[in-house]
Every structure is written in structure tokens, then in C-alpha cells.
């Protein structure tokens, strides 16, 4: 079974000791859903550095004690489709992002409100800009951000309710659909990559280069010392 782990994002093939399924017919008077059964699927990610548990549950129709199709599915672990954000992202931003993902389908309104607060948190933390309204903060970064990023922000902003969501104070709650909340969540994921991950990688490359230069200087000094002794 080909599979992409929702924790580490690595595509992988799941074989036997890494997966387990169980399903049971309910010995129960027929409900309005017909005869039903319930099943659990569990997977352990085969990536040695990950080994996370993925757990889903399903209610199925049951015909002569056999599952004949899913009625409802539940994602138990991980709790949402959220991407795992790197450790160097500030904790309040991560919390808002994870919670926004977790409640997207249950309460898109609350999800979008959290996503909007998350976006504001990122602009304040990353760009050190703080204004009363999110709209003014977004406008203030227009000249600073890459034009591709700006077009993503504008695109999300142009969508009906989400747009008015981004114009208004973050405490104003506006009705939205799960798909619209997902647009905001997707924007946050893109901005995490383009701002924080890019900056962190650049820092790391600079540190690596500095280390390399120091090693070279040390080697040179050492060989000079040796030649002086000789």
C-alpha cells in the first residue's frame, strides 16, 4: 500500500508489521442506517525517525456480517490535516494554526477566526509590524514581501467572506465555509515556508559557511606554525 505519512510527509510503502485493521459486525436490531459494523485502521510510519501512529475509525454498512461500504470516517490520529510546523516557529502561532486545522470542519467560523489571528501573529512576529487592524498590517507589508507572496495574500483576500474576514478587526466573527477556512490555512502554510523556513535555511547556510571558513583558517594557521617550527 503506497502511503504518505501525515506526520513526516514522506511517501512510503506500508507492509505488514506496520499496519493493523479490525472490523466487527454489530449484533444489534437494524437501525435507520441498516445493519452496521465498526472498524479501526492503524498504521505505524515505517520511517525510523518518525514511527508515529496513524489511527482512523469507520462506521460501515454490513451485509451478512461483511463490511459493504463506509458510512462515516473519523480521523483520530493525527487529529487534523495540519502540517507539523518546525520548532523555531513561535508557540502561540503554532497553537493557533493547529487549532484552526483541528476545528476546520466542525466550526469553520472559529477556524477562520483563529487562522486570521495566526496570520496577524506572523506579520507582527516576522515583520515587526503592529497596527490596529489586520487589513492595515497586510497593507503595510506590501512593499516588503515578494510579489508572488503578495499575490497569494491578495488571492485569498479576494474570496467573499474570507475577504471581509481579513478587512475587519480580528475579533469580528464572520460566517465562512470549511473550504474558505482552508484557504486561510493554506496561506498560513505557504507563509511559514516562505518566511520562516527560508530565513532559517539561510541562517543555517551562513553558519555552515562560517564554520567552514574557520576550519580553513585554523588549518592554514596550523600549517604556518609547523613551517615556522621547521
Q: Does 5 contact Zn ion by CB under 5 A?
A: yes
Q: How many residues bind Zn ion (CB under 5 A)?
A: 6
Q: Do the beta carbons of residue 195 and residue 93 sit within 8 Å? A: no
Choose the stretch contacting Zn ion; rule: CB under 5 A; options: 1-9, 91-99, 106-114, 208-216.
1-9
User: Which x/- pattern, by CB under 5 A, does the window 127-156 give for Zn ion?
Assistant: ------------------------------
Q: How far is the CB of 17 from Zn ion (least distance, A)?
A: 15
Q: Which lies closer to Zn ion via its Cβ, residue 49 or residue 230?
A: 49
Matching residue, cell 503506497? 2
Q: Which lies closer to Zn ion via its Cβ, residue 54 or residue 138?
A: 54
Q: Which lies closer to Zn ion via its Cβ, residue 42 or residue 159?
A: 42
Q: Which lies closer to Zn ion via its Cβ, residue 45 or residue 188?
A: 45
Q: How far is the CB of 53 from Zn ion (least distance, A)?
A: 10
What's the CA gap between 75 and 156, in Å, rounded? 27
Query: Which phi and psi angles does 21 have, rounded to 5°?
Result: -130, 145
Q: How far is the CB of 14 from Zn ion (least distance, A)?
A: 11
Binders of Zn ion among residues 7 to 36 (CB under 5 A) are 7-8
* Residue 223 backbone class (left: φ over 0; alpha: ψ -120 to 50; beta: rest): alpha
Q: How far is the CB of 73 from Zn ion (least distance, A)?
A: 20
Q: How far is the CB of 48 from Zn ion (least distance, A)?
A: 10
Binders of Zn ion among residues 43 to 72 (CB under 5 A) are 45, 47, 50
Q: Which lies closer to Zn ion via its Cβ, residue 7 or residue 150?
A: 7
Q: How far is the CB of 44 from Zn ion (least distance, A)?
A: 9
Matching residue, cell 461483511? 66
Binders of Zn ion among residues 66 to 125 (CB under 5 A) are none
Give the burial class of 155: count Cβ atoms within 10 A of its Cβ; 0-12 exposed, 13-18 middle, 19 or more buried.
Answer: exposed
Cα-Cα-Cα-Cα dihedral sign, residues 92, 97, 102, 108: positive
β-sheet with 36-44: strand ranges across: 19-25, 36-44, 53-63, 66-77
Q: Do the beta carbons of residue 71 and residue 33 sit within 8 Å? A: yes
SS (H, E, C) 101-129: HHCCCCCHHHHHHHHHHHHHHHHHHHHCC
Residues forming the site for Zn ion (CB under 5 A)? 5, 7-8, 45, 47, 50
Amino acid at each position: 500500500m503506497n502511503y504518505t505519512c501525515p506526520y513526516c510527509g514522506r511517501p512510503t510503502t506500508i507492509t505488514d508489521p506496520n499496519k493493523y485493521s479490525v472490523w466487527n459486525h454489530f449484533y444489534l436490531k437494524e437501525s435507520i442506517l441498516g445493519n452496521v459494523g465498526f472498524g479501526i485502521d492503524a498504521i505505524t510510519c515505517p520511517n525510523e525517525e518518525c514511527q508515529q501512529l496513524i489511527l482512523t475509525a469507520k462506521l460501515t454498512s454490513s451485509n451478512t456480517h461483511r463490511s459493504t461500504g463506509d458510512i462515516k470516517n473519523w480521523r483520530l490520529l493525527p487529529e487534523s490535516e495540519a502540517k507539523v510546523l518546525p520548532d523555531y516557529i513561535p508557540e502561540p502561532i503554532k497553537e493557533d494554526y493547529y487549532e484552526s486545522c483541528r476545528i476546520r470542519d466542525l466550526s469553520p467560523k472559529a477556524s477562520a477566526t483563529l487562522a486570521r489571528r495566526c496570520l496577524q501573529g506572523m506579520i507582527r512576529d516576522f515583520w515587526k509590524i503592529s497596527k490596529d487592524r489586520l487589513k492595515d498590517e497586510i497593507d503595510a507589508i506590501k512593499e516588503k514581501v515578494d510579489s508572488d507572496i503578495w499575490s497569494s495574500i491578495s488571492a485569498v483576500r479576494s474570496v467573499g467572506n474570507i475577504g471581509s474576514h481579513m478587512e475587519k478587526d480580528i475579533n469580528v466573527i464572520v460566517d465562512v465555509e470549511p473550504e474558505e477556512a482552508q484557504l486561510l490555512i493554506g496561506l498560513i502554510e505557504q507563509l511559514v515556508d516562505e518566511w520562516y523556513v527560508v530565513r532559517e535555511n539561510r541562517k543555517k547556510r551562513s553558519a555552515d559557511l562560517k564554520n567552514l571558513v574557520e576550519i580553513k583558517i585554523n588549518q592554514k594557521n596550523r600549517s604556518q606554525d609547523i613551517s615556522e617550527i621547521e
